[in-house]
Amino acid sequence: MTPDVRPLVAGNWKMNGLKASLAEIAAMRKAVDAGEAGAAELAVIPPFTLIALAAEKLAGGSVTWGGQDCSPQAGGAYTGDTSAAMLKDLGATYAIVGHSERRTIHHETDSEVRAKAEAAIKAGLKAIVCVGETRAERETGLEYAVVTRQVRESLPPDGGPDTVVVAYEPVWAIGTGLTPTPADVAKMHDSIRRLLGEIYGANGAKVRILYGGSVKPSNAKELLGIDHVDGALVGGASLKAADFLAIAAAYR
Ligand code: 13P
């Protein structure tokens, strides 16, 4: 945790969820609005098809929401893409950019990720910029070099605590049940914090740095209690309200 920084627990639903899943979102809202979810901000990042419907369920409450990606373009002939302004129009607060699944499957580069983050901010969203090394990179001792490059080249230089969230997600920990040791998480988040200071000066101290990768109710308290871990980006365990709320309960 970082003093005076409100943690964020964000649920990235990835390509999961049909209309029936809106009941989970309604249950999350109920718990949060009843004051039962603890001190963290909770955000749901459903697939694009559910955002407008989720927004209806969440309007007027305290759970925030967002998109899993956005186009670097403001609008026009970009079939299949979604602009940041379209997300903002639905009341979104966040756009995830540079998730490792997009970096890997869609070959997104740091400069594209930065352009997306800049587009998100320009539209009035906060960009959740994902970074993280692969298993091969960690095994060859390249994790700091890779994450340093990603942070320096993917983050918008004009951002700050109100517009940027960093999510450290080691690729080898995503969906595998594996997590780095608390000492490894602490060391990487400390390194990211120092880089944020280089990029944003004193404001870098207040930018939230989330940990992501196999966060679940049983390990949330330990992972979220680490210095400079200001919340979690949760995949699989965010699909069910009970699990997601049990993770957020680390901040009770
Ligand atoms: P899991 O929590 O399923 O490992 O996914 C993490 C992730 O990629 C969130 O963006």
Strands (E), the chain: 8-12, 41-45, 64-67, 94-97, 126-131, 164-168, 208-212, 231-234
Identify the pLDDT of residue 138: 97
CA distances to 2, 133, 175, 205, 237 from 219, rounded to whole Å, are 19, 21, 14, 25, 11
Task: Provide the H-helix boundaries in 155-208.
Answer: 182-200
* pLDDT higher than threshold 90 for residue 219: yes
Compute, in angstroms, the gap from residue 234 CA to the centroid of ligand 1: 5
Specify burial of residue 162 (Cβ count, 10 A radius: 0-12, 13-18, 19+). exposed
CA angle, residues 234, 51, 72, in degrees to nearest 5: 85
Min mean pLDDT across 2-6, 181-185, 238-242 is at 2-6
Residue 112 bears catalytic tag: no
Identify the pLDDT of residue 54: 98
For ligand 1, mutation pick of 8, 9, 14, 238 (most atoms within 8 Å of CB): 14
The type of residue at 27 is A
CA distances to 51, 158, 188 from 155, rounded to whole Å, are 25, 9, 17
Banded model confidence at residue 4, pLDDT cuts 50, 70, 90: confident
Closest atom of ligand 1 to 174 CA is: 4
Query: Which pLDDT tens digit goes with each residue over 58-110?
Result: 999 999 999 999 999 999 999 999 999 999 999 999 999 999 999 999 999 99
Identify the pLDDT of residue 143: 98
Identify the pLDDT of residue 145: 98
Per cent of the chain over pLDDT 70 is 100
- Domain boundaries of the chain, sorted by first residue: 8-72+80-251
Tokens for 88, please give them. Answer: 């903002």
Q: What is the mean pLDDT of the chain?
A: 98
Tokens for 125, please give them. Answer: 């969203």
Identify the pLDDT of residue 1: 80
Neighbours of 88 (CB within 10 A): 19
- Cβ of 170 less than 6 Å from ligand 1: no
Identify the pLDDT of residue 128: 99
Interhelix angle 241-248/217-224, rounded to 10 degrees, is 30
Identify the pLDDT of residue 114: 98
Banded model confidence at residue 231, pLDDT cuts 50, 70, 90: very high
Closest atom of ligand 1 to 130 CA is: 10
The CATH superfamily assigned to 8-72+80-251 is: Aldolase class I (3.20.20.70)
Q: What is the mean pLDDT of residues 185-212?
A: 98
Query: Which pLDDT tens digit goes with each residue over 153-177?
Result: 999 999 999 999 999 999 999 999 9
Residue 189 bears catalytic tag: no
Distance (Å, whole) CA 34 – CA 59: 15
Query: Which pLDDT tens digit goes with each residue over 107-130?
Result: 999 999 999 999 999 999 999 999
- Cβ of 68 less than 6 Å from ligand 1: no
Distance (Å, whole) CA 17 – CA 11: 12
Q: What is the DSSP letter of 62?
A: S
Contact indicator for 129, 160 with CB cutoff of 8 Å: no
Rounded to two decimals, what is the model's pTM? 0.98
Identify the pLDDT of residue 246: 98
Contact indicator for 229, 211 with CB cutoff of 8 Å: yes
